[in-house]
Structure 1
Amino acid sequence: MDITEIWEDLAWDQGGRIVYLVLDGLGGIPHPDHHLTELQAANTPNLDALAKESSCGLLEIVGPGITPGSGPGHLTLFGYDPLKYRIGRGVLSALGIDFELQPGDVAARANFASFSDKGMVSDRRAGRIGTDLNERLVQKICDRVSLDFDGTFFFETVSEHRAVLVLRGDDLSGAVQDTDPQSTDRPPNLPKATAEEGEKTAVLIQSFLRQVSDVLADEHPANGVLLRGFERFEPLPSLQERFALNGVCIADYPMYRGVSRLVGMDVMPRPGGLAERFDTLADIYGDDHDFYFIHVKKTDSLGEDADFDRKVAKLEQVDQLLPKITDLNPDVLVVTADHSTPATIGRHSWHPVPVMLKAKHARVDRVDRFDDYACAEGMLGRRPGTHLMGLALANAGRMQKYGA
């Protein structure tokens, strides 16, 4: 029995409300010019004031040296061991656009991409094409591609360059290699089966991609598709079933809406902007929910763009909006991240993420700034990311005593 299963036994349907503010990709490493991380460089008086009233620390989201994807990262924060609950990006993307997945469906995330005349990937995101163009290309593919099997496929727009592919039929498997090489000036990977049960699905994917290449041959800049995150959908036990929590998600980006729906949260309509999601929390706080998840994406995407200064500016914008949460005086307020995305690296990294937890009975430490280095000196220490949910439940008075 792992620790999360003990929480399941102890959790009860009473106690206070929990708010998670997740700043995607928050963690950083020092910039070579001024030797500061993004959090250290940012002017964040409200986050720093909160740190002075909180227990602080660092979370290792999956484990030492492991670079988390966003799906495993969020499952970890919600108390789901990412080594036990392994969910592909495709499933999360499909759920994120309210696609009604059925058990046994296989889903993969798709990127419209640019390919050179020699078949090399020249842009993994096709210049981040607009959603309108995406919708036209998706319809073109659906009209002209057919797969020879006793089932059907769905190809759906997500947003910008992103789409999702779903296969529905018997004996399908997610055991297929990603075709996205994760870098440019390389050919796409072959969609090979990674286990015997994936052979049928791999053949279908190969056929799909060959036809897509023909259909998009006259398009620019999106003349091909890359696929990753193949997974066979099987529902997970919900937050309510596991921890007696009635959760709600406030997020724009489909994947995070998807992971929230996967664990049984209600999902609010897309708020549309950063300030709007804080306003949405204020509007619904105190309703029938007791777990509130607010997601900020740009801290991650600006890190992936290697844009240190704009990531700093986004952190400062979040800081200005933080009083909209603290004024609600939640019983437990957590600020953290699902992984690090240092702008100096330009992609997800293995570095632990800062975390702070404010609650009436949390031990306040001597940390007086919310940043990657200051939090290392905090009361929470350096701990597995799955521990966060247990700490939140306990500080909200939502767990009974263990044993006599």
Structure 2
Amino acid sequence: MKELSQATPSKIVLLVIDGLGGLPHPESGQTELETAHTPNLDELAGKSICGMSSPVAAGITPGSAPGHLALFGYNPVDCLIGRGVLEALGIDFDLRPGDVATRGNFCTVDAQGLICDRRAGRVSSTVSAKLCALLDRQEFEGIQVIVKPVKDHRLVVVFRGSGLSEKVTDSDPQKLGAAPKEVKPLAEDAGLMARVANQFLQFAANALKDHAPANMILLRGFSEKPCFTTMNEIYKLKTAAIASYPMYRGLSKVVGMDVLPTGPTLNDEIATYKANFEKYDFFFIHVKATDAAGEDGDFERKVKALEELDKVLPEILALKPDVVAVSGDHSTPAVIEGHSWHEVPVLIYSKYCRPDKVCRFSETDCLQGGLGHIPATDIMPLAMANALKLGKFGA
């Protein structure tokens, strides 16, 4: 890909609707996308070539990081990255060599120590910041523990000192009715990391016991900062990321994008896109509300989020980018209340695409599209080709 890529003035927009894919509601028999009134997405689909994409592989439920890396053209199996690093970079935390970062969730545990809410009612960022201050700057066995708020119930915990390893298990069982897990080493040199993490978790349990609903934390995604070849190097692009949620800003930094300052709303993101359109030739625009609603099992809220996105789509198209690719990093069906293994609808629009007969952007319709079933890693090369940014292979 690097050898075929060439710089041109054409512009690409990759619109990622987080958790886009869904499943039919048991009463209506329609998915969230099929239920939503999305005339602008449907009109764009009618001019595009559509299909279904698989973020990782058949039957595999992806996390957000591998789902996005696939959309950026990276093999998510080869390019592993922990959630902790993404959260830390997303809040502009200065990770040092040897640091191990992990993502944290404030959660609620009952009198028996069992998890009854993995997100502590999605406590506000204001509350989270105060609780993080209670936990910050502890030290165990010579290892400093730095705790910083991210957004709402999420936080990042960075372990700093010598002899640390990312090769430990998570404390988050990722299900209700279970107790937080003990962190265990996965390699011989990870014993110190596991001990310190468990000591910190015990400290947190004592410090937070009177702060229900946020009376405990869960840790997952222990990781050190990786070094990837950047998208700019691979594709010869000047890339920009527009995302309000810290984790996706962090991921964008890992692959070398310029992360543009933006506000918390979708309208803020669109305003940022408009203000910077002439400066870049690739834009990653991230929409979070769909995924959050799906994880909460709120079918109607996910429908509303899709409809809100549809209303601003004309503002993205009005600047006439040469290529528009729309998809999601994974499916988050409200009926499952979490990520799933199901394929994700995708469309690619340009004046050089071969439009198919799809006239509605939905799971059922995209199943009939001309792209067929493709790995998500194919989306970026197809976008590049449609932007005339790939040269000929061979003589």
Give the match's secondary structure for 1:333: strand
Runs of 4+ in 1 over 6 A off after TM superposition: none
Report % sequence identity. 47
Work out the CA distance in 1 between the residues paired with 2:182 and 2:207: 19
Give the match's secondary structure for 2:382: helix
2:13 is matched with 19
Letter in 2 for 1:128: R
Asked whether the 8 Å contact 1:104–1:234 carries over to 2, the reply is no
Unaligned runs of 5+ in 1: 1-6
1:338 is matched with 329
Deviation at 1:283, TM superposition (A): 1.8
Deviation at 1:323, TM superposition (A): 0.4
Give the match's secondary structure for 2:131: helix
Give the match's secondary structure for 1:322: helix
Give the match's secondary structure for 2:150: strand
Q: Does 1:168 pair with 2:160?
A: yes
Q: Does 1:47 pair with 2:38?
A: no
Deviation at 1:26, TM superposition (A): 0.6
1:148 is matched with 141
Range that drifts further, 36-45 or 210-219: 210-219
Letter in 2 for 1:23: I
2:244 is matched with 252
Deviation at 1:15, TM superposition (A): 4.5
1:103 is matched with 97
Q: Does 1:235 pair with 2:233?
A: no
The Cα offsets for residues 23-49 of structure 1, whole Å up to 9 and x where unpaired, read as 100101111111101111111111010
The Cα offsets for residues 353-381 of structure 1, whole Å up to 9 and x where unpaired, read as 00000012111111111001111111111
Unaligned runs of 5+ in 2: none
Q: Does 1:273 pair with 2:265?
A: yes
2:199 is matched with 207
Work out the CA distance in 1 between the residues paired with 2:307 and 2:210: 44
Work out the CA distance in 2 between the residues paired with 1:102 and 1:263: 18
Give the match's secondary structure for 1:73: helix
CA RMSD of aligned residues (A): 1.2
Asked whether the 8 Å contact 1:129–1:161 carries over to 2, the reply is yes
Deviation at 1:218, TM superposition (A): 2.5
Give the match's secondary structure for 1:122: strand
Deviation at 1:111, TM superposition (A): 0.7
Letter in 1 for 2:28: H
Give the match's secondary structure for 1:146: strand
Letter in 1 for 2:306: L
Q: Does 1:282 pair with 2:274?
A: yes
Work out the CA distance in 1 between the residues paired with 2:227 and 2:148: 21
Deviation at 1:13, TM superposition (A): 2.1
Letter in 2 for 1:46: N
Work out the CA distance in 2 between the residues paired with 1:200 and 1:399: 48
2:4 is matched with 10
1:34 is matched with 28
Asked whether the 8 Å contact 2:132–2:149 carries over to 1, the reply is yes
2:61 is matched with 67
TM-score normalised to structure 2 length: 0.97
Give the match's secondary structure for 1:179: coil
1:297 is matched with 288
The Cα offsets for residues 114-166 of structure 1, whole Å up to 9 and x where unpaired, read as 122221112211121111221111111125x32112x4332111011110011
Q: Does 1:94 pair with 2:85?
A: no
1:223 is matched with 215
Give the match's secondary structure for 1:286: coil
Work out the CA distance in 1 between the residues paired with 2:241 and 2:355: 28
The Cα offsets for residues 186-207 of structure 1, whole Å up to 9 and x where unpaired, read as 1111101122232221111011
Q: Does 1:385 pair with 2:376?
A: yes
Asked whether the 8 Å contact 2:81–2:226 carries over to 1, the reply is no
Deviation at 1:169, TM superposition (A): 2.6
The Cα offsets for residues 300-340 of structure 1, whole Å up to 9 and x where unpaired, read as 01011111111111111111111001111111101110000
Asked whether the 8 Å contact 1:250–1:271 carries over to 2, the reply is no
Give the match's secondary structure for 2:97: coil
Asked whether the 8 Å contact 2:53–2:345 carries over to 1, the reply is yes
TM-score normalised to structure 1 length: 0.95
Asked whether the 8 Å contact 1:103–1:234 carries over to 2, the reply is no
Give the match's secondary structure for 2:3: helix
1:359 is matched with 350
Give the alignment of 1:117-156 within 5 angstroms: 117-142=111-136, 145-149=138-142, 151-156=143-148
Work out the CA distance in 1 between the residues paired with 2:188 and 2:86: 24
Give the match's secondary structure for 1:389: helix
Work out the CA distance in 1 between the residues paired with 2:70 and 2:353: 21
The Cα offsets for residues 43-81 of structure 1, whole Å up to 9 and x where unpaired, read as 111101000100101100000000010111111100111
